[in-house]
């Protein structure tokens, strides 16, 4: 298990923004873990912890880099995505439903339980799909996508928005096989998303209150044949950070889609990046053990762990809390 002191972030000046795309193998092991499918990581300032899900393990995890204090909550179903709420609860995207979860103490340690309140069923008539990637838009509404778990991977997944004010609303975006990369521009007017199997991250104009999308257009095509776009996050300069499954890397793109930086050296199945930490200058990345055979796991035994580094300057944007205030 991780013990405080085993991991130290890079200090200011250890990396620089290159003038052209460079492969920089500077991600370090941050927290040794064995998640089957680590995903959805985010920094939560109120608890001063990193939170993430092991989807296939049906668990929610939290961990502090400062103290090593860890929390683990087993859930009744796989957790595709989640967000903290204004009231201190969590909204949980379980495989086929959205729930509100209540923790008696968000600073608790060890194995804990969570009381759940169901909000909405998701694709109840379609047995092949489950909730996958998602996060809150800048208004505080929860936006997420589904994926097709059947072997044929036909594009039957959808994107949705959920709010207490409007309920569950399907967004008029193309059907996907594996919904990923859900994130929003700083002004909240642009939504980014992808079908991982297409290797193209898309963008569209987005109206949170009306749940309207328009002007769908490509943002960037991933050209690395070993890389598949997975989770994404937006930084304080409006740049998009994308974890690329199969390549063990995080890539940073400018708002115009220009490749700015590449951070490698993680376990091969890198799944989701997050920016945060007490000073907003830390990058953290989830990884997975799923889809790795015995030989691949022997070559990458730290798969399922968190990897990270310290950036030269604060770039984190505070995650918007889900609006669960009374309508």
Give the tens place of pLDDT for each residue, 38-47. Answer: 999 999 999 9
On whether residue 10 sits in a domain, the answer given is: no
Least confident of 5-19, 35-49, 286-300: 5-19
Residue 100 sits at φ, ψ, to 5 deg, of -95, 130
Tell me how far apart the terminal alpha carbons of the chain are, to the nearest angstrom.
Answer: 44
Strand, helix or coil for residue 37: strand
Give the tens place of pLDDT for each residue, 157-206. Answer: 999 999 999 999 999 999 999 999 999 999 999 999 999 999 999 999 99
Position 5 scores a pLDDT of: 31
Percent of the chain topping pLDDT 90: 89
186: buried, middle or exposed (CB in 10 Å: 19+, 13-18, 0-12)?
middle
Give the tens place of pLDDT for each residue, 218-266. Answer: 999 999 999 999 999 999 999 999 999 999 999 999 999 999 999 999 9
On whether residue 120 sits in a domain, the answer given is: yes
Q: Calculate the alpha carbon distances from 97 to 83, 128, 129, 130, 162 in Å.
A: 14, 14, 11, 9, 11
| Helix H or strand E encompassing 53 | strand 49-54
C-alpha span between 123 and 226 (Å, rounded)? 32
C-alpha span between 245 and 199 (Å, rounded)? 11
Strand, helix or coil for residue 35: coil
On whether residue 14 sits in a domain, the answer given is: no
Least Cα distance to 272 among 285, 290, 253, 288 occurs for 285
On whether residue 139 sits in a domain, the answer given is: yes
Least Cα distance to 158 among 184, 119, 187, 125 occurs for 125
Average model confidence (pLDDT) for the chain?
92
Position 25 scores a pLDDT of: 54
Cα-to-chain-centroid distance, residue 224: 21
On whether residue 72 sits in a domain, the answer given is: yes
On whether residue 18 sits in a domain, the answer given is: no
Neighbours of 118 (CB within 10 A): 11
The domain spanning residue 45 has which CATH number? Answer: 2.120.10.30
On whether residue 73 sits in a domain, the answer given is: yes
What are the start-end ranges of the E strands in 65-189?
A: 70-74, 79-84, 90-94, 97-102, 110-112, 115-121, 129-136, 142-148, 159-163, 167-170, 179-184
- DSSP assignment of 152-171, as one string? T--S-B-EEEEETTTEEEE-
Where residue 68 falls among pLDDT bands split at 50, 70, 90?
very high
| pLDDT at 324 exceeding the cut of 70 | yes
pTM for this entry:
0.92
C-alpha span between 179 and 153 (Å, rounded)? 12
On whether residue 59 sits in a domain, the answer given is: yes
| pLDDT at 20 exceeding the cut of 70 | no
Least Cα distance to 50 among 311, 240, 266, 283 occurs for 283
If one compares 9 and 94, the residue with the highest pLDDT of the two is 94
Range of the domain at 94: 23-310
Domain total of the chain:
1
| pLDDT at 213 exceeding the cut of 80 | yes
Residues 148-158, mean pLDDT to the nearest whole number: 97
C-alpha span between 92 and 32 (Å, rounded)? 25
Strand, helix or coil for residue 262: strand
| pLDDT at 24 exceeding the cut of 70 | no
Position 17 scores a pLDDT of: 35
Position 40 scores a pLDDT of: 98
């Amino acid at each position: 298990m991780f013990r405080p002191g085993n991991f130290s972030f890079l200090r200011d000046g250890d990396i620089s923004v290159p003038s052209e795309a460079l492969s920089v193998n500077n991600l370090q092991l941050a927290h040794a873990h064995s998640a089957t499918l680590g995903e959805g990581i985010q920094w939560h300032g109120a608890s001063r912890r990193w939170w993430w899900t092991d989807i296939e393990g049906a668990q929610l995890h939290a961990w502090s880099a400062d103290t090593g204090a860890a929390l683990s909550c087993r859930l009744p179903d796989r957790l595709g995505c989640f967000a903290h709420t204004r009231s201190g609860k969590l909204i949980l995207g379980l495989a086929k439903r959205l729930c509100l979860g209540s923790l008696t103490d968000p600073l608790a340690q060890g194995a804990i339980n969570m009381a759940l309140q169901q909000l909405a069923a998701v694709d109840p008539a379609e047995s092949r799909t489950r909730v996958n990637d998602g996060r809150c838009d800048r208004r505080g509404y929860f936006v997420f996508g589904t994926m097709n778990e059947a072997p044929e991977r036909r594009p039957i997944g959808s994107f949705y928005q959920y709010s207490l004010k409007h309920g569950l609303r399907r967004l008029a975006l193309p059907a996907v096989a594996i919904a990923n990369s859900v994130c929003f521009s700083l002004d909240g007017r642009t939504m980014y998303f992808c079908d991982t199997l297409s290797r193209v991250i898309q963008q569209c104009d987005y109206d949170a209150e009306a749940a309207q999308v328009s002007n769908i257009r490509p943002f960037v095509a991933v050209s690395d044949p070993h890389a598949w776009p997975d989770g994404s996050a937006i930084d304080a300069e409006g740049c998009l950070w994308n974890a690329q499954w199969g390549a063990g890397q995080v890539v940073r793109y400018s708002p115009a889609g220009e490749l700015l930086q590449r951070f490698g050296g993680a376990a091969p199945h890198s799944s989701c990046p997050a920016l945060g930490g007490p000073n907003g200058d830390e990058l953290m990345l989830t990884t997975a053990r799923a889809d790795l055979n015995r030989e691949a796991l022997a070559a990458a035994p730290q798969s399922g762990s968190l990897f990270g580094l310290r950036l030269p300057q604060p770039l984190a944007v505070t995650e918007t809390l889900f609006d669960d205030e009374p309508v």
